[in-house]
Amino acid sequence: MNRREFVKTSVTGLSAVGSLKAAESRALPVVISSANGLKATQKAMEIIRRGEDTLDAVVAGVNLVEEDPNDRSVGYGGLPNELGVVQLDASVMHGPTRGAGSVAALEGIKTPSRVAKLVMERTDHVLLVGEGAQKFALAMGFRNEDLLTDEAREIWLKWKSQLNPDDDWINPEDRVSGSLADEGRVNLKKVLKYHGTINCNAVNEKGDISGVTTTSGLSFKIPGRVGDSPIIGAGLYVDDDVGACGSTGRGEAHLKACASFMVVEFMRQGLSPEEAGLRVLKRISENTVEPYLKDEAGRPNFHLLFYVINKKGEFAGVSMYSGRQYAVHDGKVNRLCDAAYLYEAKDALE
């Protein structure tokens, strides 16, 4: 299928399509990440240039974000579940050895990506969860720490105070000034219900590919909820013969589509990273049938983003809606780029 046929059959009638620029051959190495990963791409590139392994590079990159208390979506400082407990998920894949490891609902460990890497290296398993994942991490020498920062705790308490107007939780401001204005409640709700993750993928000058995805998950989730990030094929997939894809956004949508795996498989069939990402977003959009997940135009009312790289060093960030960015280090410049997109964003999603 040529580019003209792809655009005509896959995107026509879907409001907007993003840039669909012709893929260019690029020099290796390349590192790509979600928009909160600009420091991660810089760190990973420095490590790759020293000749070190691509998985070591991307894990070291995302560790900077996992340990950053100001990032509400990853690791230490991430927003907690509905009980006020921070539960973390992460996965890694190492292309040269076809290895994979992941952890889910991990408590008390700042860097779940490092634990996931050890699951891959030290066990015959791929996924460890909950208490078992924590015990494994402690056996590997990690420290059990309180991951709930004061700032994240305050956000969680504000969320609890607005759950039910008939419960006994209140905002301190309400005791003095009365109930918050409707506009204030709406804005607070928009800030508090937070999706976020970091994915980072790299290919070195030899064509070796690795990837990592790590997150604190959906804010205020039901305890034990696991999204796409630690699930191989959903939140991350690496094939050293083809390329890699990682995802952020609504995890449940990625899970039902095996989205990252599908993006890589479309690249195997010859599509560029951008085309492959848009093809999968189109399929997810068409398969979103739940009324509460659709806007007035029948489109998904949630964000999805892919971070895609192939063995040649071609890359793309691809979003369900416009207005999103991704980080990339192309071996020369470390920068944020605008993501290609399927739909123009409405105000509710911007």
Cα(first)–Cα(last) distance of the chain, in Å? 33
Can you tell me whether residue 256 is helix, strand or coil? helix
Q: Is the pLDDT of residue 236 over 80?
A: yes
Peptide bond into 230 cis (omega under 30): no
pLDDT score recorded for residue 94: 98
194: DSSP letter = -
Residue 2 corresponds to which tokens in the numbers above?
């040529």
CA distance 95 to 241: 8
Q: What is the residue extent of each domain of the chain?
A: 3-148+194-349, 150-190
Distant-in-sequence, close-in-space partners of 308: CB < 8 Å, separation ≥ 6: 32, 201, 243, 244, 245, 263, 267, 273, 274, 276, 277, 315, 316, 317, 318
Q: Give residue-wise pLDDT tens across range 120-133.
A: 999 999 999 999 99
Among the listed residues 41, 54, 111, 197, the single catalytic one is: 197
197 is catalytic: yes
Q: Which of 314, 58, 253, 141 is nearest to 262 (CA)?
A: 253
Helix residue ranges, H only, 70-165: 112-122, 130-139, 150-161
Q: Give residue-wise pLDDT tens across range 11-41.
A: 433 333 443 343 444 579 999 999 999 999 9
Q: Give residue-wise pLDDT tens across range 181-201.
A: 344 343 444 444 455 799 999
The sign of the torsion formed by the CA atoms of 49, 55, 61, 64 equals negative
* More confident of the two residues 79 and 22: 79
CA distance 291 to 210: 37
CA distance 347 to 161: 26
Q: Give residue-wise pLDDT tens across range 292-350.
A: 999 999 999 999 999 999 999 999 999 999 999 999 999 999 999 999 999 998 754 44
Class of the CATH domain delimited by 3-148+194-349: alpha beta
Can you tell me whether residue 215 is helix, strand or coil? strand
pLDDT score recorded for residue 176: 54
Edge-to-edge strands of the sheet including 236-239? 236-239, 243-249, 304-310, 315-321, 340-343
CA distance 77 to 233: 27
CA distance 39 to 292: 36
Q: What is the mean pLDDT of the chain?
A: 87
